[in-house]
Amino acid sequence: MTTGPGPPYPPPAPPPPPRKISVAMVFVGAPIFIVINTVLGFAAFIVAGGQTDNSDAILGGAAVLLGLIAFGVGGYLLTVKSPQAKGIGLGLMIGWALTSLVTVGICTGINPSLYSM
């Protein structure tokens, strides 16, 4: 009866778990939202500036659309299995929050003073 060599000592470490989210893509998703917000917000202010009776509806619609982009698309991307997609989704949400904080809610439409003109 022959016995071969035993298992290596120490046993090999298990492989690392797969990454759940790509942190680098979070830093890509936030600027993506900021660019989307800049284009959409500027267009909303231009269109609302030319209107007198329904400017609140235009700004409110832009605010809802920006929220849907940040949290709807971002939330959907968080459900995808790809770590890169999850990072971009989280980045969109973080971009919305940063834009809201830095601009005191004016650029995301959550500042009530926008609607009291």
Task: Tell whether 58 is covered by a domain.
Answer: yes
Q: pLDDT confidence of 49, banded at 50, 70, 90? A: confident
Has residue 7 got a pLDDT over 70? Answer: no
Task: Tell whether 15 is covered by a domain.
Answer: no
Task: Tell whether 18 is covered by a domain.
Answer: no
Task: Tell whether 68 is covered by a domain.
Answer: yes
Give the residue, 117 or 22, on which the prediction is more confident.
22
Task: Tell whether 7 is covered by a domain.
Answer: no
| DSSP character string of 52-63 | SSSHHHHHHHHH
Q: Which domain holds residue 41?
A: 23-115
Domain count, the chain: 1
pLDDT tens digit sequence for 51-71: 778 888 888 899 999 999 999
Nearest to 34 by CA among 84, 100, 81, 117: 100
Task: Tell whether 5 is covered by a domain.
Answer: no
Q: pLDDT confidence of 107, banded at 50, 70, 90? A: confident
Average pLDDT score, the chain: 87
